[in-house]
Structure 1
Amino acid sequence: MTALDLPRSFVIREGDLRILNPYDAGKLATLGRALKLRPGTSILDLCSGKGELLCTWARDHGVVGTGVDISTAFTAAARERAAELGVADRVRFAHGDAAVFVPESPVDVAACVGATWIGGGVPGTLEILARSLRPGGMALVGEPYWRREPPDEDAVRACHAESREDFHDLPGLVALFGDLGWDLVEMVLADQDSWDRYAAAHWLNLRRWLDANPDDELAGELRRELTEDPLRHVRFRRELLGWGVFALLRR
């Protein structure tokens, strides 16, 4: 791990997953079709992970673009995926801090899917995306929301939040976009099945890694995670927490 990187546990947990959020390939494809992407559309994907959004949309819609991610392992996987799909001449991936990256030229679409921590939340992340957009360009934000009111603080923490106020409910999130001066023009939401696919894939990755690395310094920490996370997921996250990608145009 370099000074600018994610902890090794992230790489272990994600394993061979290509989409690093509660979407599946079908929902990612649905989103690409819903946005009516045209060949040559330029996209900046901040916190691009393993590059599946850019790579599959370049293959399916002829987009071009750049992905930026803090993980050296994920960036390397994204470059491999671009080569595998034959789109390495259309998309590139840079290792770096997505919060400060600005492309040389404004883009048609700027995305931050599931990593609004780079801006301290939705408002700050939209400001980051806006500085890279051409006039009339589209922002894509992936963000959790409360499907139901969490009953107590244990439930809040199980959903990776420090307080209820960290997330809005879906009407509140949509209202927030409007309050910030953006029109919501499309959305594709995760569902409980795609949440399960993402969460359960982590458990299998963790178990296989633990079996192969019982003496690693991370083994104790990841053993506890594997023991505790399935119950947290079925008790709290799949019932309480929604997730979606929202397409926005500035008013």
Structure 2
Amino acid sequence: MDRQLLSAIAHRDHPIAAPVSAANLDRLLRRAALPEGARVLDMGCGAGEWSLRALELVPSARADGVDVSPHAVASANEAAVGRGLSDRLTLHTMPADAFAPAQPYDLALCVGSTHAFGGLAETMEALARFVRPGGLALVGEGYWERPPAPEVAEAVGEYPDLAGTVARAESKGWLTVYAHVSDLAEWDEYEWSWTGTLARWAADNPGPDGEQALAVMREHRDMWLDGYRGTLGFVTLLLRRL
């Protein structure tokens, strides 16, 4: 099984695909105050929950979702059809850095997917090409709440602290106008959903695929419980393009 399929399975019960509750996702989108007829871009859209909710909040809006995973795009399409939004969401299966829109957007989303552009600063530089002057970006990124153990930092990645994350996000012509810092309960809900959904799928699918899924789940759970739980933070920044 490829990792994209495993990720799609793991996120089935938590389509937000980030340690953010549904209530806080709504709060962030409402704070964006999208205009009528808004154009929304969701880079690394996964199952599309962020852009789909934006379309529900602004019935005249339209959105493009971009993801390299065909499994994630299929999930987003299924969700859009089920919620009667497929006529306003256009999905693109391609790398984020290959997407070339014809018109700028009012809001660009990149939550938990900055790796698609090579990091947070590179993501903000890329989003500035997609968003109109005065438009907005919602960007979700990890940061270290406290210095991690060396082996945890090596496994998870190099992140600054919260202040450094905000500074990095603002370094390419953006201004933070709101933010949400995920709490431990949101992290636990996300991680238990991720590992639990994959574990249940593995139990229902014995054989090589199930064994692989179970191994991936256990590796991830061990790194979370014994490594970054309570140390790795997550912030979702609402930024305005200057």
Structure 1 length normalisation: TM-score?
0.88
| Aligned pairs for 1:88-237 within 5 A | 88-150=86-148, 152-157=149-154, 160-161=156-157, 166-216=158-208, 218-237=209-228
In 2: Cα distance, 1:121 partner to 1:229 partner: 21
C-alpha distance in structure 1 between counterparts of 2:171 and 2:97, whole Å: 23
The CA RMSD over aligned residues, in Å, is 2.0
Larger deviation: 43-52 or 59-68?
A: 59-68
Displacement after TM superposition at 1:243 (Å) = 0.7
Tell me the alpha carbon deviations over residues 198-230 of structure 1, each in whole angstroms, 9 at most, x when there is no partner. 1101222122122122212x4444333333443
Does the 8 Å contact 1:6/1:70 carry over to 2?
no
| Aligned counterparts of 1:9 and 1:43: Cα–Cα separation in 2 | 27
**Helix, strand or coil for the counterpart of 1:131?**
helix
Percent identical residues = 34
Which consecutive residues of structure 1, in runs of 5 or more, have no partner in the other structure?
A: none
Structure 1 residue 48: Cα displacement: 0.5
AA partner of residue 136 (structure 2):
M
How far apart in 1 are the matches of 2:16 and 2:152? 25
Pick from 27, 32, 39 the counterpart of residue 29 of structure 2. 32
Say if 1:58 and 1:90, in contact at 8 Å, map to a contact too.
Answer: yes
4+ residue runs of structure 1 moved beyond 4 angstroms? none
- Would the aligned equivalents of 1:50 and 1:78 in 2 still touch at CA under 8 Å? yes
Offset at 1:6? Answer: 5.4
1:194 shift after superposition: 0.9
Q: Which one of the candidate residues 6, 9, 14 is aligned to 1:9?
A: 6
| Whole-angstrom distance in 1 between the partners of 2:17 and 2:185 | 15
Specify whether residues 186 and 82 from structure 1 end up closer, same or farther in structure 2 by C-alpha distance, changes over 3 A only.
same
Deviations 1:87-131 (A, max 9, x none): 222222121111120211111112211111122111111121111
SS in 2 for 1:239: coil
Structure 1 pair 177–15 and aligned structure 2 pair: CA distance change class (3 A): closer
Match of 2:235? 244
The DSSP-based 3-state class of the residue aligned with 2:133 is strand
Q: Residue 142 of structure 2 contacts residue 233 of structure 2 at CA under 8 Å; is this kept in 1?
A: yes
Amino acid of the structure 2 residue aligned with 1:181:
G
